[in-house]
């Protein structure tokens, strides 16, 4: 889980896509952008040349170059010095424009990476903002099997030996898709979005006791696996408790929420016992979650119906 991003790493990751060329400041390839630096509103991760609130990656377009050309020599030198003193991760010139000699020299002297791209400014801004935000977003690894069930991301959790992998295998055979087994990684890419992915080492693999490690893509085809999915529900397998007379729990089920990074994710508890079809129960749990997300709660509707029935039966 990277906590920082180096200028050289950013250049290697986006160099081909943005057709970047490194003009000056190669000595600043190890310049680092820390994860915590993107939390404040200003400066931004990427933006057009800004001297007052310097962005982490400064984009130099035609308007910015024209503005610099309109300054007198001393003011221009002071502005360039101020830009370099803010220690941006990199400067990027747009549309393959010619780089002014003083800008190149100042970048070399300060060790500030200076790149040029044929892309327009708004294209660079969108791609850089997205890539930087995603690369430095908070991440966590959770234990369980992450799947796509009825189009939503579901994390199956529970103690070891309760049959999470066997349940996942049966769900795959019923047409649902595997995202990651054992150690899915979740990234908070937006205030209300957790994106789940599989570590490269575990891609397409599912381990089932007695069968060992299986490649789901090879066994079931490309449609049986999914690259990533947003986490919407946790189904937690628990050992079946002793029989209870708690009537309300039987009506409403066992559900609560679990905090993952900054989000509260709904959790549905499924007791594991002999004779219970966990695949059918998991599918039903997902369908129930979808109904609740639409504002329809069968348990609440039943309680309201029961209350109305009792009121009708009371003497006037």
> Which residues is 93 bridged to in the sheet?
60, 116
Whether 255 has a binding-site annotation, put simply, is no
Question: Counting beta carbons within 10 angstroms of the beta carbon of residue 299, is it exposed (0 to 12), middle (13 to 18) or buried (19 or more)?
Answer: middle
3-state SS class at 221: coil
Strand partners, 5: 33
- 250 in catalytic set: yes
| Neighbour-count burial for 70-92, b at 16+ CB within 10 Å, e otherwise | eeeeeebeebbeebbeeebbbbb
Active site annotation includes 226? no
**Spatial separation of the C-alpha atoms in residues 98 and 205, rounded to whole Å:** 50
CA angle (258 as vertex; 255, 263 as ends), nearest 5? 125
143 is an active site residue? yes
160 labeled part of a ligand binding site:
yes
Active site residue 306: no
The answer to whether 159 is annotated as binding is: yes
- State yes or no: 165 annotated in a binding site: yes
Rounded CA-CA distance 268/291 in Å is: 14
- Which of 42, 143, 239, 287 does the annotation list as catalytic? 143
Query: 29: annotated binding-site residue?
Result: no
User: Does the annotation place 212 within a ligand binding site?
Assistant: no
15 annotated as belonging to a binding site for a ligand = no
E strand segments, 69-165? 90-93, 114-116, 139-141, 144-149, 152-158
Q: Which of 134, 250, 287, 306 is catalytic?
A: 250
164 is in an annotated binding site: yes
283 among the known binding-site residues?
A: no
Catalytic residue (one of 119, 164, 176, 289) = 164
Among 119, 139, 176, 182, the active-site one is: 182
Q: Please, are residues 219 and 172 in contact by the beta-carbon 8 Å criterion?
A: no
Binding-site residues: 158-165, 207
Q: Which sequence positions are flagged as catalytic?
A: 143, 164, 182, 250
Binding residues for Mg(2+): 165, 207
* Residues tagged in the binding site annotation for ATP: 158-165
């Amino acid at each position: 889980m990277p906590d920082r991003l180096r200028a050289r790493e950013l250049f290697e990751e986006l160099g081909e896509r943005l057709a970047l060329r490194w003009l000056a400041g190669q000595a600043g390839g190890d310049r680092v952008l820390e994860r915590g630096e993107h939390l404040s509103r200003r400066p931004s991760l990427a933006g057009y040349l800004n001297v007052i609130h310097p962005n982490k990656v400064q984009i130099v377009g035609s308007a910015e170059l024209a503005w610099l050309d309109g300054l007198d020599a001393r003011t221009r030198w002071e502005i360039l010095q101020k830009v370099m003193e803010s220690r941006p991760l990199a400067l990027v010139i747009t549309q393959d424009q010619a780089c002014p000699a003083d800008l190149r020299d100042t970048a070399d002297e300060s060790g500030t990476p200076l790149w040029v791209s044929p892309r327009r400014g708004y294209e660079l801004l969108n791609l850089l903002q997205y890539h930087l935000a995603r690369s430095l977003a908070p991440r966590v690894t959770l234990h369980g099997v992450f799947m796509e069930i009825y189009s939503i991301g579901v994390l199956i959790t529970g103690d070891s030996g309760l049959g999470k992998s066997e349940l996942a295998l049966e769900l795959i055979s019923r047409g649902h898709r595997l995202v990651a087994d054992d150690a899915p990684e979740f990234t908070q890419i937006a205030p209300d979005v957790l994106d789940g992915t599989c570590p490269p080492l575990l891609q397409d693999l599912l381990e089932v006791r007695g069968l060992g490690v299986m490649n789901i893509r090879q066994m079931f085809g490309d449609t049986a696996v999914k690259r990533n999915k947003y986490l919407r529900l946790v189904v937690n397998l628990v050992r079946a408790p002793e029989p209870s007379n708690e009537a309300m729990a039987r009506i409403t089920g066992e559900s609560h929420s679990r905090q993952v990074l900054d989000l509260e994710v709904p959790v549905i508890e499924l007791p594991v016992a002999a004779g219970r079809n966990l695949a059918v129960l998991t599918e039903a749990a997902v369908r129930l979650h979808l109904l609740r997300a639409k504002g329809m709660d069968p348990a609440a509707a039943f309680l309201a119906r029961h209350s109305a029935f009792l009121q009708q039966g009371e003497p006037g």
